[in-house]
Structure formats: structure tokens, C-alpha cells
Amino acid sequence: MKDFRDKLAIVTGAGTGMGRELARQLASEGCHVAICDVLPQNMEETRNACEEIAPANTRITAHQCDVSDETQVLAFRDAVLQEHATDFVNLVFNNAGVGGGGSMLVDSREEWDRTFGICWSGVYYCTRAFLPLLVASTEGYIVNTSSVNGFWACLGPGIAHTAYSAAKFAVKGFTEALLTDLRVNAPHVKAAVVLPGYIGTSIAINSRLVHGKAIEDMSHEELEEARARLARQGMPVENLNDDQLRQAIKKRGEEFRDNAPVTAAQAATIILDGVRNEEWRILIGEDAHALDERVRANPEQAYDPSFVRQ
């Protein structure tokens, strides 16, 4: 699929970050795009951004959808079929993701299940919903966003990262299994797994909103949990009062987005180039390539502190 003009693409988690940039770049090439996000304001901003740069007669539709809820996913699919007057799609980017649920021991089960549900079940439900429509096309591509945490379940010493990592491992394995399934049963449809390293997105900021933990609404008890977690990560937060800690948390999320070595726009370009080149494994960032090489070379030591220091 070298040309996206007049194709129809589905992009989940399109409110910010890589999802927004995928939608923008596709729209700029004349690709019809149906986006979804759980945060409506972000989604509308993306739709407006797409409409500003899309050629005439390019159709952009926006749909509020929590991809962890299969009923909402099916409603999203049905709305796409109706609003785009189609019985097929060409591209599905399962991009929606959220952080949280780091620990099985400390964090709440509700947060753990919510994180896993969005990051894994969202990919599964959207694949179930849209794969028949890809098969109905003359050429199709499904692109599932995993992470370097899909082959390395760690953020560093002292940072539990279970829900997100488990989900991203599932996404990677599922997509790799789809390669054979599609070659046997629908060879005109391709699949790819995206494995980003540190990309400049708003995931740290949006995750709090999705989990109902807006910084300004955090209770003293929640702030104390955050203080302990940040202290374990080496941040000097012990002497900050609650308001100062809120500002520190907000600043950290903004710095994560703004100081990354790879921007969301650059990541989206790499993904779309990967689709054009029929790649099935798309690593993004020098850190992703280096980490992939080191984990493969030395899996037994991958979770030792010395590995992280290297």
C-alpha cells in the first residue's frame, strides 16, 4: 500500500500523540479517516487539525469510544460504516493506550484492570470488529501499537510496570500470530506491530484523566502514594507540600511529552513508511533498537540493575 489517497483509515486513541499525528498525516494525503478517543475535547482538536490540512472531499469523522468496552467499539464500527457509506476499510491503527496499574501488590485492581483493558482488550475488540472489513477490501493493513515494554517488562529499578507491560506483550504476540493467520486466510491483508521507545506523547497526562485522577483533584492520600513512588525513582520530593507536589507531577508529564528524542509526528511518519514498505515489525527510536538488541543478546540479565545501567 504505497498510496493512502482515497483509502479509509481507522485510528484509535487519536486525541493526542501518535494517534493525532497518524490521523493528520493520513488526512494530508487525502486518506479518509475515522478517529476515536475516550477524551472528547482532544478528539475534536484532532478532527479540526485534520480538516485544516486535508484535500477537498476528504472525509474526517470523530467518534467518542472507550475501546475497553466492546459494545462501544461495535457502535464505533457501525457509525463508521454509516457515516462513510462503506462496507470495507483499508487501514486500522490500534493505537489507544494508557499507563497505570504498575504494581500487582500496591496499586488498585481497578486501575490495573483499566490499564490492561485499554491496552490489550482494546486491540482485541477493535480487531474483532474491523478485521472483516479489512478482509472485504482489496488491500488492507492492521497496525497494532505495542511498546519496548512488549519485549522488556521494565521501566528501570524500583518501578513496577505490570499491567502495561503484560498488555503490550499480548499485543506483540497477537500481532505476530496474525501474520500467519492472514497469510493463510486473507493474504491481501497485512499486519504490523509497532514497538516505540521514548516518544513525545501526552500519555502521562492523559492516563491520569482516563483513570479519573486529574492532578488538581488528587487527595492527600493519593499524593502521598505518588510521593513515595517518585521518591523510589530518585526524585527529591520529600520536602514538597501538596501543591508543590502537584506542580512537580504536572511538570514531569509535560517534560515527558516535550523533551523526548523522537516526536509524535516523527513516530507517525516512521509507522506510515513502514506500512508503505510492508514491514511487520516497526521499531521507533534509537533506544528501541538498542534495547531490542541487548534483550535478545542477554535475556537472562535483562532485569538486573547492571543491565539498566548499561
Among 232, 62, 84, 243, smallest CA distance to 157 is for 232
pLDDT of residue 68 exceeding 80, the answer is yes
Query: For 243-268, what is each residue's pLDDT tens digit?
Result: 888 888 788 778 877 889 999 999 99
**C-alpha to C-alpha distance for 190 and 71, rounded to whole angstroms:** 26
User: Could you tell me which residues come within 8 angstroms of residue 216 by beta carbon, excluding any fewer than 6 positions away?
Assistant: 246
pLDDT of residue 161 exceeding 90, the answer is yes
User: Using an 8 Å Cβ cutoff, are 144 and 123 in contact?
Assistant: yes
What pLDDT does 302 receive? 95
Grid cell 489517497 in the structure block, residue: 5
Instruction: Cell numbers for 242, please give them.
Output: 501538596
The CATH-assigned architecture of domain 8-201+263-309 is 3-Layer(aba) Sandwich (3.40)
Among 62, 43, 46, 56, smallest CA distance to 6 is for 56
Instruction: Cell numbers for 254, please give them.
Output: 509535560
Neighbours of 10 (CB within 10 A): 28
Of 2-6, 202-206, 305-309, which has the strongest mean pLDDT? 2-6
Active site (catalytic) residues: 164
pTM of the entire predicted model = 0.91
